[in-house]
Chain A
Amino acid sequence: GQNIDQPTEMTATEGAIVQINCTYQTSGFNGLFWYQQHAGEAPTFLSYNVLDGLEEKGRFSSFLSRSKGYSYLLLKELQMKDSASYLCAPMDSNYQLIWGAGTKLIIKP
């Protein structure tokens, strides 16, 4: 079956670095997306990985290992506005996104 596993909740301190891990099992693979979702708002796109390795985009980086079915989202220089849920979503062979439950990130001053 298809499955996504990421932590339910994480807490970090403003200015610090946090890594949100995601493991997945899908029927085929066409890349993996990370989305950010603030409470009560629609999710916003953060990153897309289709090849192994690290993709850096400002304070956010995303890593993918296809052989391990593993990805992580790295957030640096955390700001209070980064408090949100982060959704890991691999795309299967039918180009359907398989959504995880998301990780709620709490940033403390």
Chain B
Amino acid sequence: GAVVSQHPSRVICKSGTSVKIECRSLDFQATTMFWYRQFPKQSLMLMATSNEGSKATYEQGVEKDKFLINHASLTLSTLTVTSAHPEDSSFYICSAKSNDLAGESGELFFGEGSRLTVL
């Protein structure tokens, strides 16, 4: 099946620094990717929809200047958490919608997730 690679899987950083998380579709092209955040024992919360070649669409309450999303190619989207603070510590997960299957099932493929800890 289709594979989505997310890197890094775990990152620890100091407060005030920026962290970049990459989401790559390895064997398919994805015009659309989604970024989620999940706190322990809670459900996934959609943060933003990333569209290749255009600006991301952010969900209500998500600061676009703090969570920078770049989707420069059909296989890569990045999420940068700028000036990270301890409250940004969370589990971030991406998913990608395969262009090839878009007309068939709209199936989403998920990355493995990235655990961010801000000290």
Which residues of A are in contact with B by a Cβ distance under 8 Å? 30-31, 33, 35, 37-43, 45, 48, 50, 85, 91, 94-97, 99, 101-102, 104
Contact = CB atoms under 8 A, between A and B. Distances in A.
Across the A-B interface, give the 8 residue pairs with the lowest CB-CB distance, nearest first. Answer: A40-B106, A45-B43, A39-B106, A99-B110, A96-B113, A42-B46, A39-B105, A95-B40
Nearest to B106: A40
A101 B109 CA distance: 8
A42 B34 contact: yes
Interface residues of B, number: 24
A50 B40 CA distance: 12
Contacts of A41: 106
A96 B112 contact: yes
B106 A48 contact: no
Interface in B1-52: 1, 9-10, 34, 36, 38, 40-41, 43-44, 46
A43 B108 contact: yes
